[in-house]
Structure 1
Amino acid sequence: MQSVTMTDDELRQVVQGPGDVEWRYEMRRECQQILPGLLLGPFVASKSLPTLRSLNISHIVCIRDAKEAFSVKPRFPEHFTYLTLDVEDNEEQNLIRLFPGAKQFIDTAIAQGGRVLVHCNGGISLSPAFVVMFVMQHYQLSWEDALHMVQNRRYCISPNGGFLTQIKEYEAIYKASLAVASYPTVQRSVSRRKRSDDDDDDEDTRDEDRKRPLVKNDSEEFDPNAMETS
């Protein structure tokens, strides 16, 4: 799934989301669409086969604390493609290390025309952190705008402090990757060729040094009186 480039007005509309949605407390137990093909919600939303089918879900990212594995688990593996991530829902858990695998899973699913539900147990902290990082990179947003975008669609999200710190850090990571990807290919090629030419010059110099005699040979003129003193 390629990143989307939009005007400032378009980005503002995306971040603000639909203005006609009235949030109700019971919606915490439902899932919401964050962007086309990507939904976010709690585990309870993944337990209803009729609901999943009505939403045309094809792929599910099940993010759970390892202690919850006995209950938070894929319920319908014969109907949906699952990615299960065992993590710890605490501030020390490294999400950035796990995110690329989740992003690839989501990208592939949407590229194939699928619809992905990302959930953790409550849909409040853990799974929203992954979704915020995803939309941040997809729309090339700042971390604040990405967080607001997800909150404007699922009002109850609240990533813990450690996850929020990693969301902020991920902004610099994805922007650096974009900068590397946009670096002119020709310039990179010239730089590599220049380094190669320099290496060849160094090799030629080393070859000449190896060929150069360390002492004068017998064919050079020698003055037998050079060392005599008067």
Structure 2
Amino acid sequence: MEDEKRPGTEADDIEVGMSASPAAEVGEVQPLPSVLQPGSMFGGPDEIIPGIYLGGFLALEQCHRLGIEYVLSLVDADSYDQIKELLGNLLEGSNDAPALTMCHIDCEDRPRANLLQHMDTSTEFMGEALSNGKKVLVHCMAGVSRSATVVAAYIIKSEGLNPEEAVALVKEKRGCAEPNSGFVRQLSAWHTMGNKVDKEHALYKDLFSETPSVKKAASLGSGLSKPVTPDPDLRELSSSTAEANPVLVPEPTHTNRPEPTQETKVGSSREQQQGGPTSKACCCIS
């Protein structure tokens, strides 16, 4: 006798990002939940133009299946370390799949984070992959803002589109793509600067120099018994940006955090000696 389905039990239908569907026949393939469908935040990756894929970090699991050999990661340093630990074996390759050529750019998903300074490096890495006849995955955590922005930058440069057209194309191919407001302004500035980074350009300085509000708060603080603390949002720049464009209000000192470095890492000597799989290269930029 078949068990009857009773309300309030585990037999109840559970919604996971979509409406519950009727029971399937034996052997029938069930559709993926909407959050895992292509074009969604945790689905994909999605091919935006031939050879360039966009997705979240989970898309890394699909690299070897799709024949992707280049990976551009736009996440903060802590997230990148966790991703490497979680997906280490997949990233290193195997006898059946080549090791990945990786480039990590340390950037947070905040409107005031300086993604603009990395657009040249990002677009050049994508161009290198395609010129070598390879496919490239561009990812951040969810494939929504950071990665979508730099893919749009590459399309602007390679296809001759303006920022609005490039972002629209990205969103057409990946429905959840939505660069944050700050990155949209930076993308427009990059296009105005001739699709290259010019830190001496007025637009760059306007975006990342100290604001009048910071100056005013600093001057007021000098005449009061209790200094005025500027809004922390006014100082939301990455550590690399603060180094390149110092502001009057100092960032808190992190004595235990090393200074950002730029380096190229090739597999460890132990892996090379043992002939084990390893990532081809990793350019880490902060």
Q: TM range, normalised to the smaller chain?
A: 0.5 to 0.7
1:116 partner SS:
strand
Alignment of 1:16-55 (within 5 A): 25-26=35-36, 27=38, 28=40, 29-46=43-60, 48=61, 51-55=62-66
Amino acid of the residue matched to residue 34 of structure 1? I
Secondary structure class of the residue paired with 2:81 = coil
From 107, 130, 133, the counterpart of 2:150: 130
Structure 1: state its 5+ residue gaps. 1-23, 178-230
Residues 132-166 of structure 1 show CA distances to partners (whole Å, capped at 9, x for unaligned) of 11101111111110010100000101111111111
Q: Does 1:171 align with 2:191?
A: yes
Match of residue 118 from structure 2: 98
User: CA-to-partner distance for each residue in 1:87-130, whole Å, 9 max, x for gaps?
Assistant: 12111111121111111111111101010000001101111111
Secondary structure of the equivalent of 2:193? helix
- What is the distance in 2 between the residues matched to 1:119 and 1:154? 12
| Paired residues, number | 151
Determine whether 1:66 maps to 2:77: yes
Identity of aligned residues (%): 27
Residue 53 of structure 1 and its aligned partner are, at CA, apart by: 1.9
After superposition, the C-alpha distances for 1:16-59 in whole angstroms (9 at most, x for unaligned) are xxxxxxxx54222211111111110110010x2xx322211010
**Residue number among 141, 158, 170 corresponding to 1:150 in the alignment:** 170
Q: Does the aligned pair in 2 maintain the 1:72–1:121 contact within 8 Å?
A: no
Partner residue, 1:57: 68
Q: Secondary structure at the match of 2:104?
A: strand
Residue 89 in structure 1 maps to residue 125 in structure 2: no
Counterpart position of 2:21: none
Q: Distance in 2 between matches of 1:62 and 1:164?
A: 19
Residues 66 and 88 of structure 1 are in contact (CA less than 8 Å); yes or no, is this contact kept in structure 2?
Answer: no
TM-score (normalised: structure 1): 0.61
Task: Go from structure 1 to structure 2 and tell me whether the alpha carbon gap of 1:170 and 1:81 turns closer, same or farther (over 3 Å shift).
Answer: same
Q: Which has the higher helix share?
A: 1
Deviating 4+ runs (over 6 angstroms): none
Normalising by structure 2, we get a TM-score of 0.50
Q: Which consecutive unaligned segments of at least 5 residues does structure 2 have?
A: 1-33, 94-98, 198-286
Please say if residues 71 and 103 of structure 2, whose CA atoms lie closer than 8 Å, have aligned partners that are also in contact.
Answer: yes
Q: Is the 8 A contact 1:60 1:116 kept in 2?
A: yes
Distance 1:66 1:53, change over 3 A: closer
Change (3 A) 1:81 1:90: same
Report Cα offsets for 1:153-205 as digits up to 9, x if no partner. Answer: 0010111111111111122122689xxxxxxxxxxxxxxxxxxxxxxxxxxxx
User: How big is the shift at 1:77?
Assistant: 3.3
Instruction: Mark the CA change 1:125 to 1:96 in structure 2 (over 3 Å): closer, same or farther.
Output: same
The amino acid of 2:92's aligned partner reads P
Query: In structure 1, the residue corresponding to 2:48 is in which secondary structure?
Result: strand
The one of the two structures with greater contact order (alpha-carbon pairs below 8 A, sep at least 6) is 1
Worse-matched range after superposition: 102-111 or 167-176: 167-176
